[in-house]
Amino acid sequence: MKRFKTKLLTILIIISSLSFYYCWDVRKIDKDHEEAQGIILNLPADALVNCPKWGADIDSISAQQTIYALHEFIDQYANTQVNKLFFNVNYLRSCYESEVMTPYWDVPNPSTDMTDWPKKFWKVHKKGVDLFEICIQRTRDNKISPWLSFRMNDHHYREDPTRLNKLMLTNPELRLSPKESFDYGNAKVRDYYKAFIEEALGKYDVDGIELDWMRTFYLFKPGEEENGIELLNEFMRDIREISKKQDKNIQVAVRVPVTPAIGRKYGLDAVAWAKYGLVDIIIPSNYWYPTNLDIPVETWKAEIGANSSCIIAPGADLAFRCVEDWRTIVMHNSIETMRAFAVNAYSRGAGAVYLFNHFDWVIDKWTVDEDGEKVVSNDKPVIINEGGKMETVRGKPRIHVLTFASPDTGKIEAKLPRLIDKENTATFEIYTGPKPVTGKYIVRIGLDSLNGFHDAVFNVSVNGTKANQLGDLLKDTVSSIDKTNQIHVAKNLTEVAERVMQFEARAKILNAGYNTIEVGLESNMKQKVIWLEVYIH
């Protein structure tokens, strides 16, 4: 009996030790995972010359003042959660003195033939200042990793010959159509971009390169996308070999559609690239607005497999819309939506988050306080200091917006707008991250201005349980906006929807991940729902 007790005690000690080791190891893995988290921030070419505070026209300042302005622009990211800066070097021309891709200033008379932001690159170039070299070195000085970003088939300014490279201008047969971008089914196009990437890597000392396939994802003629998959697989093999030619290990990132299936529809098989060891970071993202808050990181990881070291870094753009209509007013990003984006990404297994179009000094929003006063704030500093790690967004107010994939595998299926009457309710599934254990879960419903919208009576349930109606979101009754302005970006939800109703759900009925929201109308006149979000605080 004594021997049995001794054996049992020994076994219990071993089990306890293993349990302690296992728990410690899991905590260590989680800690290591969180320490690696951070923000990858893409700086497009136009931002690199539009955003520095030149103080005057670039022509009127010295080369040293030009360098100082570039330093100041980069320094805003020092000591923040931004750990990688991606510098975009091209649209359909090069922004540096390239011998492969036509530079913007390769026109008969740059002083008269160039306009807008490309002309600013020429003005910096004239001073003998290599903008990218200056920015890359300053990034390193700030202990941030510098990368180059290549737009693989950009769609901007395709009808302006001063902004098209000579290969495109002189070889119309290389384009998908006379007014579209390149056809990657042609080897000359693929070779052109490989040569451009290799040249840039030989010129600039960076840690990695991004191939931005979302600028733009139309790469093959209709019906040729499936054949294009292997062409781009081979292209990516060549890019990996080019990256290995450098004196140091150059990493490769790709920006692609939000799911593997959508990517393959356009000839982009990023799962295969990860399996073959050709890429280090995959950035699933929408083409433009809206930022997609339902990127299935777990699908990517499952298809790639557990043996891959490839990081999934979901990409966010600058604004949201719930309705698939580019003419609708969009809602500006904020720290609350960025917290939701990061919470969703990291709870699904992401290794980092990626920001596109977040280059301005200010990302502003406004709210209305209880006294009816309008309060304006700048969320940019908070986003870059807090929005990149789970430990700094967890447990803080966040807003989950109901968005959609763009592009999609077929017709884009936006869940809104929805017409609702007494006979027709609407049901929505929205991903809101880990289950809240404390705080409030508030559903916000935005209405269009149909007859009777001011007095419409709705009922809302979450996971089958009725939510309690609160007061409407406070509206600024003094200011007004021009809703016919299609480029207006709203800074408050009441600019998007004429009325924003709020309903609170009980915490105990909530799920981790997806929650079901049912919206019904009790009053007689039908109403149009154009916005749905969940505010957790």
Tens of pLDDT, residue by residue over 124-138, are: 999 999 999 999 999
**Structure token digits, residue 4:** 């049995």
pLDDT (0 to 100) of residue 11? 40
Strands 441-447, 527-536: pairing is: antiparallel
Given this model, what pLDDT does residue 488 score? Answer: 76
For residues 40 and 157, what is the distance between their CA atoms, to the nearest angstrom? 27
- Strand 319-320 and strand 315-316: the pairing is unpaired
Please compute, for residue 211, the number of CA atoms within 13 A of its CA located in the half-sphere on the CB side.
Answer: 30
The CA distance from 145 to 350, in Å, is 19
Dist. CA 47–CA 360, nearest whole Å: 8
The predicted structure's pLDDT at residue 503: 99
Per-residue pLDDT reduced to its tens digit, 34-62: 667 999 999 999 999 999 999 878 999 99
Q: Return the pLDDT at 20.
A: 32
Region class of 26: left (phi > 0), else alpha (psi between -120 and 50), else beta: alpha
Distance CA 35, CA 356 (A): 22
Identify the pLDDT of residue 16. Answer: 40
* 341 three-state secondary structure: helix
Report how far residue 186's alpha carbon sits from residue 173's, in angstroms, rounded to the nearest whole number.
9
pLDDT for 155 equals 96
Average pLDDT along the chain, 537 residues, taken 10 residues at a time: 45 37 34 77 98 93 98 99 99 98 98 96 98 99 99 96 97 95 98 99 98 98 98 99 91 99 98 98 97 98 96 97 88 97 98 97 90 91 98 97 95 90 95 92 97 97 98 82 70 94 96 98 95 97
Least Cα distance to 384 among 174, 81, 101, 83 occurs for 81
Q: How far is CA 379 from CA 387, 399, 408, in A?
A: 10, 14, 30
Name the residue among 171, 248, 250, 246 with its Cα closest to residue 209: 250
Q: DSSP readout, 79-137? A: TSSEEEEEEE-BSSSBSS--SSSPBTT-SS-HHHH--HHHHHHHHHHHTT--HHHHHHH
Contact between residue 221 and residue 185 where contact means Cβ atoms under 8 Å apart: yes
Identify the helix (H) or strand (E) that includes residue 252.
strand 251-256
pLDDT at 28: 36
Q: Is the dihedral of CA 23, 25, 30, 31 positive or negative?
A: positive
CA distance 482 to 497: 13
Cα(394)–Cα(380) distance, integer angstroms: 18
- Tell me: the pLDDT tens digits for 174-221? 999 988 999 999 999 999 999 999 999 999 999 999 999 999 999 999
pLDDT value at position 181?
94
Report how far residue 1's alpha carbon sits from residue 95's, in angstroms, rounded to the nearest whole number: 83
pLDDT at 15: 36
Q: Which structure tokens are listed for 382?
A: 């908070």
Structure-token match 């957790």, residue found: 536
Who contacts 21 (Cβ-Cβ below 8 Å, separation ≥6)? none
Q: Is 9 helix (H, G, I), strand (E, B) or coil?
A: helix
The residue ranges of DSSP E strands in 306-356, in sequence order, are: 311-312, 315-316, 319-320, 330-332, 353-355
Asked whether 263 and 256 are in contact (CB, 8 A), the reply is: yes
- Provide the pairing of β-strand 82-88 with 39-43: parallel
Matching residue, tokens 């904020």: 334
- Confirm if 531 and 492 have CB atoms less than 8 A apart: no
Q: What are phi and psi of 335, to 5 degrees?
A: -65, -35
pLDDT value at residue 504: 98
According to the model, what pLDDT value does residue 12 have? 39
pLDDT score at 373: 87
Residue 210: its pLDDT value, please? 99
Q: In sequence order, what are the beta bridge partners of 168?
A: none
| pLDDT value of residue 27 | 35
Q: Which two tokens stand for residue 348?
A: 């699904």
Question: Which letter, b or e, does each residue of 421-430 get, where b requires 16 or more Cβ atoms within 10 Å of its Cβ?
Answer: eeeebbebeb
* H or E element at residue 265: helix 260-265
Other residues' Cβ atoms within 10 Å of the Cβ of residue 214: 27
Domains and CATH numbers, the chain: 36-284 (3.20.20), 298-537 (2.60.120.1200)
Q: Which H, E and C letters describe 272-309, residue by residue?
A: HHHHCCCCCEEEECCCCCCCCCCCCHHHHHHHHCCCCC
